[in-house]
Amino acid sequence: MKKILLYILPLMLVAAVGCKKDYLEVEPNTAVTEEQIFSRLSAVTAALDGIYKEQFAFGTGGNTRHDAFGQKSIDMEHDLMGNDMVVHTLGYGWFTTTYNMSEWQNATNNRQPDFAWLFYYDIIKQANKIINNADNVADASAAQKESLKGQALGMRAYAYYYLINNFQQTYKGNESKPGVPIYTQDTTVGKPRGTVQDVYNQIISDLSRAETLLTGKTRTSKVNMDVQVVQGFRARVALIMEDWATAASYANKARAGYSPMSTAQFANGFSSISNPEWMWGSLIPEDESTIYASFFSHIDISTGGYAALGGQKKITKALYDQIPTGDVRKTVFKTPGTGTTSNPDYNQLKFRVPSPGAWAADYLYMRAAEMYLIEAEALARQGQDAPARTVLETLIKARNSAYSATSFSGTALVNEILLQRRIELWGEGFSLIDIKRLKQGLGRPTGAGNHGAPSFDPGVYTTGPEDARFLMRIPQRELDNNASMTPADQNP
C-alpha cells in the first residue's frame, strides 16, 4: 500500500485548508505543514468536513468514471447485485457489469474494487490524522477535541465496515479468513490482511470509543456523525455478527427521538436531509453536485441523467406484488400498465430530486426505519415475539394503517421482518450485505416484470450462499506496492 498511502496525504492537506480562505492567505498550500494544520480548530474542523464531503465526491484517486461517486455508488452496487432491483435496458452501460456480477472480479485501476479500496482507505488515513492529533489542537476545548476525535473514530469504523463487507464474505463462519489491512497510524509501509475477526474487533473498538466521546455532544448538522449514528452502526455490526441482544439494544438507542415519517413525506421522494426520519446523510447543494456522475443521475429519470437514457432502475414484480394496496410504499414505483418509454412499469419513484432537471439533492446513509427493523429482527431471533411484533407494527403501520403482525410468530415472524426490510429499504444499499449475512445466495425471480427479457439480461440468476463474485478483488496496484501482500492474498 506504499504508493497509495503516499498519494492520499496531499488529498487530506487540500481538504483541510481548501475552504478556509483566511488560512490560505497566511501561507501558500505548499508551505502548510501537518503541525500547522493540527494547531488550529478551524483547520482540523475543515479536515473533518473534507472527510464528509468525500462521501459524495467524484474523482477519488483520479477515477473519473461516472459510476464512482462516493458511498452511494457502492450502495447502488449492493442493490444491483441483489434480487430486487432490475435494470431496464443497457442505456449507456454504467453499472451493467455490476448487475451481471462481473465487475467485482476486475482488479485493474479505476474499476469498482480499486475505487472502493482507495475511497475507504483515504477516509481511514484522514480519520487517523484527526484521531491521533486532536488532543494537540491548542485553541479547542476538551469537549471540542472529544467531538473531533469521536467523529473521526466513527468514520474510521464506517470505512472498515464497508471494506470488510466488500472484500470478504459475512462475519459468521468466516471469522478466521483474511480480512483487510488495519491501519490506525500514519505509515508508508503496507500491512498484511488482518483476519475478519481482527477487523470487526477494530470496528467495535472504534465505535465504543466514539460512543463515549460523542455522548452529550451536539452535532452541527445531520452531515456529521453523532452518538446515535454511531449507535446505529453498532446495531448494524451486531446484526451481521448475530449478536442479537446487542443489535436490539443499540437499534433501540439509535432510534430514540426519531419517529417514522408520514406517508406524505415518504411519497415525496427521498432527497432531503431535512426529512425527520433521516439520521445521517450528505447535504448537496447545486454547486456541489456531481451532475451525471451521481446517484440521482443513475436512478432518477427526472434529472435527465443516465436513468432517463435507458438505465432505469425498477423493482421486481415479485416484490412489488407483495406490497398491499393502501401501503404508501407501493406508490413509489410506477404502476404496471401505466408505464411509458422513459418511465416504464415498476420504475422507481422513491428517489427523486426536488426540482426536475436540477441536481441539488441529498444522499441518505442512515434512517430510523432501519433501526426499527434491526430491533424487530434481533428481538424475534431471541424468541421475543411480542415486543418484536410491537416494534415492527410501529414502523409498518406508518406506511399502511391496516397492517397487523399478530398472526406471525417464530420463523414466520423473522421471515415477515425480512420481507418488510426488503420493501422498506429498497434502493438504500442493503441487498447484497443481507444476502451474504443470511447466506441465502442469489435467487433472482424471472418472467414478466422481473429480471431478464425484455429488460436487460443480467446473465446470472442464482448463486451459492458464498459465491466468489460477492467479493471485490484486491486492487492489483495494492498487491504490486504492498510488500506485506503477495498474489496469494488475492480473493478468488
pTM for this entry: 0.94
The CATH classification of domain 2-217+430-489, taken from the options 3.30.43.10, 1.25.40.390, 3.30.70.260, 1.20.150.20 = 1.25.40.390
Query: What is the distance between the alpha carbons of residues 65 and 313, in angstroms, rounded to a whole number?
Result: 19
Q: For residue 152, what pLDDT is reported? A: 98
d(Cα 280, Cα 333) in Å, to the nearest integer? 24
Cα–Cα nearest to 279, from 232, 215, 218: 232
More confident: 83 or 35: 83
Reference 126, options 60, 186, 43; nearest CA is 186
CA 355 to chain centre: 25
Q: Which tens digit of pLDDT belongs to each residue from 417-463?
A: 999 999 999 999 999 999 999 999 999 999 999 999 999 999 999 99
Q: What is the mean pLDDT of residues 288-312?
A: 96
- Answer yes or no: is pLDDT of 22 > 70: no
Give percent of the chain with pLDDT exceeding 70.
Answer: 93
pLDDT in tens, 43-91: 999 999 999 999 999 988 889 999 999 999 999 999 999 999 999 999 9
- For 45, 125, 152, 221, the CA distances from 145, given in Å and listed in that order, are 10, 18, 11, 18
pLDDT band with cut points at 50, 70 and 90 for residue 25:
very low
Contact indicator for 68, 60 with CB cutoff of 8 Å: yes
Closest CA to 403 of 303, 276, 268, 260: 260
In the predicted model, is pLDDT for residue 20 greater than 60?
A: no
Q: What values do phi and psi take at 349, rounded to 5?
A: -125, 10
Tens-place pLDDT, residues 150-193: 999 999 999 999 999 999 999 999 999 999 999 999 888 999 99
CA pair distance 293, 280, nearest whole angstrom:
21
pLDDT band at 31 (very low <50, low <70, confident <90, very high): low
The pLDDT-based confidence of 18 (bands split at 50, 70, 90) is very low
Q: Which three cell numbers stand for residue 244?
A: 442479537
Report the mean per-residue pLDDT for the chain.
93
Is the distance from CB of 357 to CB of 304 less than 8 angstroms?
Answer: yes
pLDDT at 188 (0 to 100): 87
Query: Of the candidates 121, 167, 245, 48, which has an alpha carbon nearest to the alpha carbon of residue 470?
Result: 167
- How far is residue 321 CA from its own chain's centroid? 27
The C-alpha cell that represents 189 in the structure block: 509501509
C-alpha cell at 89: 435496458
Strand partners, 451: 446
- Please state, in angstroms and rounded to a whole number, the distance separating the CA atoms of residues 200 and 427: 26
- Per-residue pLDDT tens over the stretch 79-94: 999 999 999 999 999 9
Phi/psi at 55 (nearest 5 deg)?
-60, -25
Judge whether residue 1 has pLDDT over 80.
Answer: no
> Cα–Cα distance between 481 and 6 in angstroms, integer?
11
> Which has the higher per-residue pLDDT, 3 or 310?
310
Q: What is the pLDDT of residue 32?
A: 64
CA distance 275 to 277: 6
Round to whole Å and give the CA distance between 136 and 67. 39
| Cβ density class 236-248: b for 16+ within 10 Å, e for less | bbbbbbebbebbb
Per-residue pLDDT averaged across 227-237, rounded? 99
The interaxial angle of helices 142-167 and 112-133, nearest 10 deg, is: 160
User: What residues are paired with 333 via a beta bridge?
Assistant: 348
The domain segmentation of the chain, as residue ranges, is 2-217+430-489, 284-361
Q: What is the pLDDT of residue 38?
A: 82
Could you give the CA distance from residue 315 to residue 171 in angstroms, rounded to a whole number? 28
| Residue 3 in this model has a pLDDT that exceeds 70 | no
Residue 13: pLDDT over 70: no
CA dist 21 → 25, 129, 187, 226, 473 (Å): 6, 22, 30, 28, 41
Residue closest to 392 by CA, chosen among 246, 236, 260: 260
Flag whether pLDDT at 28 surpasses 90: no
- If one compares 15 and 290, the residue with the highest pLDDT of the two is 290
Q: What span, in angstroms and rounded, lies between the C-alpha atoms of 410 and 407? A: 10
Q: Above 70 in pLDDT, residue 471?
A: yes
Q: How confident is the model at residue 34 (pLDDT cuts 50, 70, 90)?
A: confident
User: Residue 7: what pLDDT?
Assistant: 37
